[in-house]
Structures are given as C-alpha cells and as structure tokens.
Amino acid sequence: CPDPTNVKSCYAPISEYARHVQELTAELARNHGPDSPLSHVTEVIMMSDETDQEWWDEVDAMGWRQTRPYEDQIANEYGRRWPAIVDSIIQSRGAAFVGTSQSTMSIVAARRVMDWNKGPVRL
C-alpha cells in the first residue's frame, strides 16, 4: 500500500482492472482462435462490496455491467443470501476472471473459472 493513511491508495484502480481485461481478451483469442466467440469479449461484469460512488461511476464509464442495482430486489424477493448466490453463479460461468488476491470470493470464483471453464484468471 503506497500510503497507509489513505485507504484508497491500497486498492487497484479501475485502470488496472481494465488492463487485465485487455490481457485476458488477448489470451482468450490466442487460446481459442480468432474465430471463436470466446475471443471476442462483449461483456464485463463488475461485482464488489465497494460503497464509494466515485468508484462505481468509473465502472459505469468503462461500460461494464454490475449486479449491484439488483441486490435489494433479489434479497427482497428471495432472501438475503441470494445476491451472493447470484453473483457466484455469474462468476462461475465466466470465460475469464479478474479479481483481488485478498478476497475469498475472488479466489473461489477464479478457481471455478480455471477448473470448470478452463479460463484464464488474474488476481
């Protein structure tokens, strides 16, 4: 962490996630061939428990999707555990995965993508 007194400096910026998305897109194209649907990433879905609206505004500016707007609706209709279950299902179906190395959710999702989908990951 560059500045322990500034918590935001301890987290990777959105630009770092974007760099990993570009790397994984290229890796998918190399692994599956340029004609494969897997070599053309059309959607990035960002999931986080981040509460900083500026951070989410950056996610929106990237054109990435998120499940956060639906969490309350899912919890109200199905129960408070369901938002995490829905996130896990979405993560497990990914062609590739970018996450944080200190997050248990990221580690589990990365393993699912690697083992179940033979997809590349970055933590």
Instruction: Answer yes or no: are the C-beta atoms of 28 and 120 closer than 8 Å.
Output: yes
Q: What is the pLDDT along the chain (123 residues), one digit of tens a residue?
A: 777 787 777 788 999 999 999 999 999 999 999 888 888 888 999 999 888 899 999 999 999 999 988 999 999 999 999 999 999 999 989 999 999 988 898 999 999 999 999 999 999
Half-sphere exposure of 119 (CA within 13 A, CB side): 24
Structure tokens of 95?
């062609």
Q: Provide the whole-model pTM.
A: 0.85
pLDDT digits (tens, 9 = 90+) for 36-71: 888 888 899 999 988 889 999 999 999 999 998 899
pLDDT at residue 10, as a whole number: 75
Would you say how long the chain is, in residues? 123
Q: Residue 21: CB partners within 8 Å, gap ≥ 6?
A: 41, 44, 98
Q: Residue 68's CB: how many other CB atoms inside 10 A?
A: 17
